[in-house]
Amino acid sequence: MHHTPVNEFHILLKAFGYVRTHWWLFLLEIIVIYGISLHKFYKTPPVYESDATLLIDTTRRQIYQTVLMSANTMNNARKQNMVHLLLGQEVFERFRNQLTEIYNEGHPPYLKSMFPGGVAYPAGVLRSFISLSWDKNSDIYSMHCTSHNPDAAHSICLAYLNTIQNYYPEVGQRESLLKRDFLTRQISSFLNQIKEKEQGIVDYQRNNPEFINFLNITMDNQGVQKLRTEKNNISHRMATNRAIYKLILSIPRAKKGEHTARVATISALTQKVTELQYQITLTEQSNHPDKEGRLKIIRQQLDDVTAKLSNLNEEEVQTFMRTPLPSTDVRQKVASLEIEHRADQIKLASVDKEIEIFSQKEKLFNQQRLQYERMFMELNHKKKLLTSLYQKQQETELELSAGGAEIFRLQEPTRSGHRVAPQLSRHLYSSLSLSIFIIAITVIILIAGFPRLDSETEVHRLNLPVIGKVPLIKKQGTNEDLPGYSLEYLKIMNYRIMREMRDVKCPIIVISSPHAREGKSTVTHFLSLASQNPVRKTLLIDGDLLTSHPNKFFGIIEDHTPGLKYILENSQNTDYNSLIVKTNVDGIYFMPRGGRFDPSVLPNFTKPMEQVLAQLKKEFDTIYIDTPPLFSSNLAHQWAGLGDLIVLVARIFHTRPKDIVEAIQTCKVFSKSPVGIALNCIRLSGPTKRASNYYFSKKKPSPPPRLAA
């Protein structure tokens, strides 16, 4: 057996299989959905509409908007606010009065539905009959009214249009007037608050002079931060002073006159070197005959003086390295550093004292300082808000100076005799969409909640031991009644059974199924017909003592002979040949059950039937036993223990995968015999059917072509 994974195509085929087998359920769902939709269509009252268009000319207002920023946004916002205002409670109360006046003039019958009990609907109910929209690119407003009568829709639209035209002059400038009044009140309130804040600050300054002085000093001297910076500089200067002081004291001091005598000698030798170099320059420029001799003598003197000067310089360097400074210089530098250090100490103490005083004052006035700053922040915030309010007030005054708007009727209310709702096509399309959705949900529920074997692919995926396939046969009877391809499938299955039982002289094949109505009796009958052979004898035993009736396939009644029931009741000294009936098919014999047993008193016939079957195996070549379903009675479990091969019938589109797997495990518990699966009711497509019917085609051969004369 090979394993085939499940993919989307298999799921699609499974869904089509459910649609094919449960078409009645889907048809019922479609009928119910369409019935409900048509019922709603006929019960829904008709709806008629009336439309009107009006223009609110705002040319002067647009001129005003060009002065302001974001004119387009403000225009759209104004239009939207106007629509909300015209759909407000106050407008609809006036519309209700206008509609009542129209009704009281002649009591037209088409408006009677709008006045239950002689009183008009409330304003909230009347709002549901009217919708108002506006155009973003113009000042045109569209009005849409609906009702159950075309005349009523026209009257509603006309009354609402008159209400707007009469009421708009009152509401056109209402927004601007309300805005101006609000801004005036806010400005007056803010002026009073600012005066109170300023007076509070002045009183606070008068009552806290010490705190105000502290703030002034802090702002002048930049507070304690400047003192701390100065303290850091003094500390750094004192540290440098002490480092230089220690360095000078650690240097050895030269003795008095130790550097002075050598310095005078070095100066004299240096003067001598300068004079000799000058003599060399003059001698080189002269034309004296003894020029070379003089140059030689002068240069030799210069070398001697230079050598002496070098030695003295080396001695001076070594001496200076041992004693770099004289005592006088050291004393002067030490005194100077000491004076600077003491002056810095005095400055540092003074700065520390000032920092401590400022720190104490900061702690003392910290809360007052925060309160004082908060008062100034509130005052500045109030002034900014007041400035903004003044600006908005000026804009509002400009808006009021632009004036109101004029109303023009572009389109009078229409009157149409064609209803717009309910629409049958819309109900039908919605029913179609809902039907497709319900069918899809039903298929998903069936696939998830009621899994079954839908194809051979599902069987291969479960790795079931398939021993043969039985095509869907609508007409049952003898071999002549079976289609050729169906008989060929049955013979192949019978051949596989014989191949499995090749080591057994007369195999006993027990045929069962997980549940009823899966075709086990039919498959047993077909296998017995497919095993027909002139030299072989086949016995079919009706082992279902409860409800089955395979004897009808051969035209034999169930009590034609005492049958199996007689054997179970009289297991000794029984003539089995008298209980077996020869059918009208050569080589096939049948043992009826003879009668039914009560399920509550079913016998345990394992041992007696072993002896009976041992006797029958001597006379027949193959024995088929039809048994009840495995999950309906323990009688099938007893038969399973007596068979050489167990065939479980699994019906396509009917058997659940879980049931067939559990049935295989149950058979393995009660018997050591091999178990095979017979796939029943496999639908063959046209190409498969033609291929299977290759040798059994009933198509007449075409006549030979007519030769030429």
Q: What is the CA radius of gyration of the chain?
A: 61
Q: Which two tokens stand for residue 516?
A: 């009823």
Residue from 529, 687, 505, 521 nearest 614 by CA = 505
Instruction: Find out whether 589 and 581 touch, Cβ atoms under 8 Å.
Output: yes
Q: How confident is the model at residue 707 (pLDDT cuts 50, 70, 90)?
A: very low
CA 204, CA 217: separation in Å to the nearest integer?
A: 18
Residues 6+ apart with CB under 8 A from 463: 1, 3
Burial (CB count within 10 angstroms: exposed 0-12, middle 13-18, buried 19+), residue 646:
buried
Residue from 616, 624, 660, 669 nearest 643 by CA = 624
Burial (CB count within 10 angstroms: exposed 0-12, middle 13-18, buried 19+), residue 301:
middle
Please, what CATH class does the domain formed by 48-173+403-411 belong to? alpha beta
Residue from 648, 649, 629, 656 nearest 453 by CA = 656
CA 508, CA 429: separation in Å to the nearest integer?
A: 61
Tell me the pLDDT tens digit for each residue of 519-545: 888 888 888 888 888 788 999 888 887
pLDDT score recorded for residue 221: 55
Q: Domain boundaries in the chain?
A: 8-44+423-449, 48-173+403-411, 456-692
Give the phi and the psi of residue 645 in degrees, each rounded to 5. -150, 135
The segment with the largest mean pLDDT, out of 244-253, 320-329, 435-444, is 435-444
H or E stretch at 368? helix 327-401
Instruction: Find out whether 82 and 125 touch, Cβ atoms under 8 Å.
Output: no
DSSP characters over 246-269: HHHHHSPEEPTTTTHHHHHHHHHH
CA 284, CA 292: separation in Å to the nearest integer?
A: 9
Residue from 550, 625, 546 nearest 583 by CA = 550
Tell me the pLDDT tens digit for each residue of 539-595: 988 888 776 565 566 667 666 777 777 777 776 656 777 888 888 888 888 888 877
Residue from 586, 478, 468, 494 nearest 533 by CA = 586
Residue from 494, 504, 511, 498 nearest 639 by CA = 511
Superfamily of segment(s) 456-692:
P-loop containing nucleotide triphosphate hydrolases (3.40.50.300)
pLDDT score recorded for residue 89: 86
Does the pLDDT value for residue 676 go beyond 80?
A: yes
At 209 the three-state DSSP class reads helix
Burial (CB count within 10 angstroms: exposed 0-12, middle 13-18, buried 19+), residue 306:
middle
CA 41, CA 23: separation in Å to the nearest integer?
A: 27
CA 688, CA 671: separation in Å to the nearest integer?
A: 36
Tell me the pLDDT tens digit for each residue of 165-216: 887 766 666 677 778 888 889 999 989 989 998 888 888 888 888 887 777 7
First to last CA, the chain: 61
pLDDT score recorded for residue 10: 66
Q: Say what the pTM is.
A: 0.48
